[in-house]
Amino acid sequence: MSLLVVGLSHRSAPVSVLERASLSADAQLKLLQDTVAAEPAAEAAVLATCNRIELYADVDKFHAGVAELSTLLAQHSGVGLEELTPYLYVHYEDRAVHHLFSVACGLDSMVVGEGQILGQLKDSLARAQELHTAGRLMNDLFQQGLRVGKRAHSETGIDRAGQSLVTFGLEQLAAGAEVRDWVRGRRALVIGAGSMSSLAAATLARAGVAEVVVANRTFDRAERLARILGEDENTDVAARAVPIESVPAELTRADVVVSCTGATGLVLTAEAIAAAVEGRTGEPVVFDEENPAVRTLPPTSLGTDEGCPLDVSAVQQQPGFSVMGEAAVAGMDAATLEQHAAWVDNATVDRRTAGRRGPEADAELIAALAATAATVGRIPERRRPEPVAGPVRPEPVLFLLDLAMPRDLDAAAHRLAGVRLIDIESLAEASADAPMAADVDLVRRIVADEVAAFGAAQRAAHITPTVVALRSMAADVVANEIARLEGRLPGLDDKHRAEITQTVKRVVDKLLHAPTVRVKQLAAEPGGAGYADALRTLFDLDQEAVAAVSRAEDSTEKNAENRGPA
């Protein structure tokens, strides 16, 4: 087994990179086709969810495989290889199996224990089977991953350690209140009609919302989802479908909005959201720095802080404070200071809120501080301004849950008064502080046991064609010797011929039994792959005969594959 996985997820990459690297359905298909066409890879599967992109392949060379899979991911995601590489992780052989099984159990999910990943694994396998990029290894791996995930959910309380992203997101919107109490009587707008949006609509309906409106680019799918919701005997919700063009109008009526589409651009801009809220409250919701007397909410950050090594949240409200000044960089080492200087040079700071001294003065100060850092190793003191009280955020009138990757809703909506926005980035931060249930340890033990069993089975399977070829050769030897005996004893009657044949077969079987059983046991142990080679050498087996057995078994696997994943 030479299983290799190269990928990136919410654990290795920021949301901004995951958004840009996300793969459309067509891109996933092309990636699979190009992977199996590449020299190091024999078969492949892609697992692409809202917070992970992983490419699995059976490769014959590790380093060449890593280089090829990384390059293919970069090409099809549209993110340059140099930019993508720092966020990629690589797992090989048993570590790759361990990773997939952990993913299947929800241990690697943003919300630990969520079960939706099992459906995504099943879809990934079905896609690879449809394109014929899944051979024996991918089929065995993903089928077993599905079984391990189901076992973890049935034998442990991993479900108590976390929920689906939908449930977790609604809990974050409710801000500590019971979701059922919080949503009861509210109107909900669900944008999208895929699996995540359908789950969100069903969850809201079961929780007790008064109305669910479904909007989708394909109106028929929106109608179908609305009909399913309306016909559910376990809910008493009014459900209707609208075209995607009706979203701005529906936004003025909705209390809760959940969006998860496959759009590559924003579905709702901050301006559209602000207009909907202003239409309700009659109050401006966008921060106006030139008129601070207006009772509005200040921005949540000083412009884009991507690439900035500072935590600017502690200083953003201090009047006259410059994020490029001495107090901001006090305490940095030289390397971090250099990163900060590059961030300033790239003009990513909103200078209206970044202080009034001007870029030239700040550049001079950074140069002086850099010289100090180069001499003493770091700036000796880190000074932070005392936080000042700001305007109180008004109670939200519109609650937004964005589960899409890339995001559907403008992140600038975080700054709008009367709006509470929870997105993938918010969920990642919230889930990092979530308590881990004791059942997680039980699941980890299940994963470890299953990885060991899978590895042993794969190693044992590797020697099976050799054992079958050996027994086939022995059967040919018996047949040839019986034929030679008949030539020497033409008068041998059928009864004696049958008895002699059976005796010879028993002798051969007994001689081969112990070695073949033992070699399978030894091959199942780590490092046991060499026993197949030893067996072929000792018995001078024809390599083509072994390969023919393998091809026959692959044909059997292909027939099983056509029946679909478990």
350 confidence band (pLDDT: 50, 70, 90): very low
Q: Tell whether pTM > 0.75.
A: no
The radius of gyration of the chain from alpha carbons, rounded to an integer in Å, stands at 31
Measured distance CA(329)–CA(340) in Å, rounded: 8
- Rounded average pLDDT over 51-71: 92
pLDDT attached to residue 39: 78
Tell me whether residue 208 is annotated as binding: no
Tell me the C-alpha distance between 321 and 310, whole Å.
14
| pLDDT (0 to 100) of residue 296 | 45
Please check if 116 is assigned to a binding site: yes
Cβ-proximal residues to 493 (8 Å cutoff; 6+ apart), any chain: none
Could you give the C-alpha distances from 288 to 54, 417, 477, in angstroms and in order?
A: 43, 12, 92
Per-residue pLDDT at 10: 86
What is residue 325's three-state secondary structure? coil
Structure tokens at 15: 């949301």
Residues 245 and 257: their CA atoms lie apart, in Å, by: 15
426 appears as a binding residue in the annotation = no
Q: 78, 62 in Cβ contact below 8 A?
A: no
Helix (H, G, I), strand (E, B) or coil at 551: helix
Q: Is 113 annotated in some ligand binding site? A: no
Whether the CB-CB separation of 462 and 536 falls below 8 Å is answered with no
Average model confidence (pLDDT) across the chain: 78
Over residues 148-169, mean pLDDT? 81
Q: Is 50 a catalytic residue?
A: yes
With tokens 């896609």, the residue in question is 127
The confidence score (pLDDT) of residue 364 equals: 60
Question: pLDDT band at 425, cuts 50/70/90?
Answer: confident
Distance separating alpha carbons of residues 57 and 76, to the nearest angstrom: 16
Least confident of 68-72, 375-379, 429-433: 375-379
The three state secondary structure string of 15-43 is: HHHHHHHCCCHHHHHHHHHHHHHCCCEEE
Rounded mean pLDDT of 368-397? Answer: 57
> CB of 88 within 8 A of CB of 6?
yes
CA–CA distance, 476 with 237 (Å, rounded to integer): 72
What per-residue confidence (pLDDT) applies to 411? Answer: 87
Residues in the chain: 566
> Which of 50, 105, 260, 308 is the catalytic position?
50
Lowest mean pLDDT among 146-160, 321-335, 386-400: 321-335
Answer yes or no: is pLDDT of 84 > 60: yes
Lowest mean pLDDT among 28-42, 57-71, 133-147, 379-393: 379-393
Question: Was 105 annotated as part of a binding site?
Answer: no
**How far is it, in rounded angstroms, from Cα 11 to Cα 99?**
13
Query: Which tokens in the block code for residue 564?
Result: 């679909």
- Looking at residue 315, what is its pLDDT? 36
Which tokens hold the place of 224? Answer: 């179908």
Q: What is the structure's pLDDT at 122?
A: 94
Residue ranges of the alpha helices (H) in 420-529?
Answer: 424-432, 439-488, 494-523
Q: What is the dihedral of CA 514, 518, 519, 520, to 10 degrees?
A: 110
Q: Where are the alpha helices (DSSP H) in 346-438?
A: 359-376, 424-432
Q: What is the pLDDT of residue 40?
A: 81
On whether 102 is known to bind a ligand per the annotation, the reply is: no
Q: What is the pLDDT of residue 33?
A: 94
Residue 195 assigned to a binding site: yes
Residue 97, judged by CB atoms within 10 A of its CB (0-12, 13-18, 19+), counts as: buried
The H-assigned helical ranges of 163-304 are: 165-174, 179-183, 195-207, 219-231, 247-251, 270-281
Measured CA to CA, the distance from residue 365 to residue 350 in angstroms comes to 18
Give the type of residue at 197.
Answer: S
Q: Using one digit for the tens of pLDDT, what is the confidence trace for 207-244?
A: 999 999 999 999 999 999 999 998 887 788 899 999 99
Average pLDDT over residues 339-367: 49
Name the DSSP letter for residue 91. E
Contact 409, 268 (CB under 8 A): yes
Please tell me the predicted confidence (pLDDT) of residue 426.
83
Distances in whole angstroms, Cα of residue 86 to Cα of each of 17, 38, 81, 207, 493: 11, 23, 9, 42, 78
**Closest among 55, 60, 58 to 71, alpha carbons compared:** 55
Mean pLDDT, residues 169-192 taken together: 91
For residue 167, give both structure tokens: 């449930």
Q: What pLDDT was estimated at residue 67?
A: 92
pLDDT of residue 20: 87
Long-range residue pairs from 116-120, CB within 8 A, at least 24 positions apart, any chain = 116/164, 116/165, 116/195, 116/196, 116/199, 117/49, 117/149, 118/146, 118/149, 118/150, 118/153, 119/195, 120/47, 120/49
Interval 42-69 mean pLDDT: 92
pLDDT of residue 157: 81
**51 annotated as ligand-binding:** yes
Would you say 114 is a known binding-site residue?
yes
Which range in 75-79, 343-347, 375-379 is most confidently predicted, on average pLDDT?
75-79
- Taking each helix axis from N to C terminus, what angle separates 530-538 and 439-488, rounded to the nearest 10 degrees? 10
Residue 186 above 90 pLDDT?
yes
Does the annotation list 354 as a binding residue?
Answer: no
